[in-house]
Amino acid sequence: MLGKKSGVAERLLEMYPDIIVWHCMNHRLELALSDAVDEVGAVNHFQIFMDKIYSTYSKSPKNQRELSECASKLEQQLQKIGKVLGTRWVASSYRAVSAVWYGYSAIYNHFEKAKTDKNRSSTERSMYCGLSRQLSSLQFLLNLAIMYDILAELSMLSEALQNRETTVVYANKLIKRSIGFFKTPETERKAWNQEP
């Protein structure tokens, strides 16, 4: 859109030289998130595992049905598991992480049952054993919790920036509030670094 030679913005500037051009605020947020994801290697591992969970259920009606049965037994309500940190808006990633966050027990139970299911091939059982181990790892649980918090904040910001009523001044306040959310106060940093 903002191409220097033949983008829409450049063409509008030719017709209306006094026009002010900028990326939509939400698109800038998405670009910043994409840059941050590229900088943090651990996020790639998280994304790859979340994609495995997504593909486990999106490509198999049998797995979807079995997951639903596990959720029913646990009296849990399932949300649709989607892709995370793809090219979609941050709100989509939040919904995907939220689905795993709230459906965690059902997903774990399904993986546990599938890894011992004699009707599955040894390759499948082995795959579910690995999925179960990774799902229950402390590292994944911490990453899931952190991503849930981060994406919840960014999703709220993203949706507010898309609102037609949002002015540049109000958007600035929202962005500053979100920046404050991500800054760790000095007192908390000191508490984390102290020996027990």
CA distances from 46 to 126, 131, 148, 166 (A): 20, 13, 12, 33
pLDDT in tens, 66-90: 999 999 999 999 998 888 876 667 8
Q: What is the pTM of this model?
A: 0.78
pLDDT in tens, 136-179: 999 999 999 988 998 999 899 888 888 889 888 998 899 898 88
39 pLDDT more than 70: yes
CA distance 28 to 62: 40
110 pLDDT more than 90: yes
pLDDT in tens, 90-109: 888 899 999 999 999 999 99
CA distance 36 to 121: 40
> What is the sign of the dihedral through the CA atoms of 132, 137, 143 and 145?
positive
pLDDT of residue 196: 46
185 pLDDT more than 70: no
CA 148 to chain centre: 7
Burial (Cβ within 10 Å: 0-12, 13-18, ≥19) of residue 63: middle
Q: Do 93 and 72 meet the contact criterion of CB atoms below 8 Å apart? A: no
At CA 116, angle to CA 114 and CA 117, rounded to 5? 60
The four Cα atoms 85, 87, 89, 93 give a dihedral, to 10 degrees, of: -20
pLDDT in tens, 5-37: 677 878 888 888 888 776 677 777 777 777 777
pLDDT of residue 119: 92
